[in-house]
Homo-oligomer: A and B are copies of this chain.
Amino acid sequence: MSLLVIGSLAFDTVITPFAKADNALGGSAVYVSVAASYFTKPIYLVGVVGDDFKEEHVKLLKDHNVDIEGLQIIENGKTFRWGGKYHDDMNNRDTLFTELNVFQDFDPVIPENYKKSEYVLLGNIDPTLQLRVLKQIISPKFIVCDTMNLWIDIKNAELLEVIKQVHVLIINDSEARLITKEPNLIKAAKMIMKMGPEFLIIKKGEHGALLFSKDKIFSAPAYPLENIYDPTGAGDTFAGGFIGYMQKTQDLSFENMKKAVIYGSALASFCVEHLSTKGIENLTQTKIQERFKEFLSLTECSDDEK
């Protein structure tokens, strides 16, 4: 009963129309782990940081039941850094800089007691690394892969190899179109399903998310947020909430996966309300349950005949 998470740990410099953060804690594995921690424990984290990664950050992870045996801390190394600036509409952003630092030579070594993890979340990193992780896992039951446009562009073959081996692929709408070169999202989804995954989640930002199985579709609404403070990490947080709930419930049915999509969306909605990981650091089960119910009520419609 454990969840394995691989991804990046980073210091992010983020500029939005409403806020600015310098070297704030970020990275896909961080957001995924913290979000998943509200549903399951322990979380086996595999990643790399430099010795500039502060004690307070390690404490944050430990406080969220993250096991850091798989976290490589490189002496005299610098943690991965990313800088981005969001446009006024908050839907688009420009990358200001990327410093790979210790990530450059990262070789994900999975500790022995992590290898039997049945639930695996391949966070958004180079698909070459995701493949190396898959080779070390002994009996995975449910593998979820998150990725981004960069890897579709520059590591396409490797990414397609990953996609073949996972149960769920999570991407956004523009990535679904990019990977298939098909403008119609439903057609694009069917094409991606033929590439291997049993399930596909297409995130659509302010328009919610779609969950696909071979023959079913679920449409999850977006939470009506008036103030999006910082969208960084929303996708990772979604993935963390999603797999956390799946791991907790041990029910791989489509019906249960719908609820996992709503829990993922709920966690992501908390994430964007604050800078960095602040929005998901101190959640309670009550808050999460309330938001889950708010999500469901957004689409409630009676089918009584008049």
A contact set with B: CB distance below 8 Å: 88-90, 183-187, 190, 204, 206-208, 210, 217-222, 224-228, 248-249, 251, 255-256, 258-259, 262, 292-293, 296, 298-303, 306
Contacts and interface: CB of A to CB of B under 8 A. Distances in A.
A225 B186 contact: yes
Contacts of A185: 206
A224 B186 contact: yes
- Copy tally for this chain in the complex stands at 2
B306 A256 contact: yes
Contacts of A298: 217-219
B256 A218 contact: no
Given A88-B183, A183-B90, A301 B226 contact: no
Contacts of A293: 303
A262 B190 contact: no
Nearest to A184: B226
Contacts of A210: 224
A139 B258 CA distance: 46
Contacts of A301: 218, 220, 258-259, 262, 296, 299
A248 B299 contact: no
A248 B305 CA distance: 12
Given A258-B301, A262-B301, 5 more contacts: A204-B207, A249-B306, A256-B306, A259-B301, A296-B301
Contact of A190 (B207, B217, B226, B228): B226
Contact of A219 (B187, B256, B299): B299
B306 A251 contact: yes
Contacts of A190: 226
Most buried by B among A187, A292, A299: A299
**Closest 9 A-B residue pairs measured CB to CB?**
A299-B299, A219-B221, A207-B207, A89-B183, A249-B306, A219-B298, A186-B224, A258-B301, A186-B226
A306 B89 CA distance: 37
A292 B299 contact: no
A194 to B, nearest CB: 14
A56 B208 CA distance: 43
Given A249-B306, A258-B301, A219 B226 contact: no
A217 B298 CA distance: 6
Contacts of A296: 301, 303
B299 A303 contact: no
Contacts of A259: 301-303, 306
Contact of A221 (B299, B303, B306): B299
Nearest to A217: B224
B248 A306 contact: yes
B303 A292 contact: yes
Contacts of A226: 184, 186-187, 190
Contact of A184 (B183, B228, B251, B262): B228
A222 B210 CA distance: 10
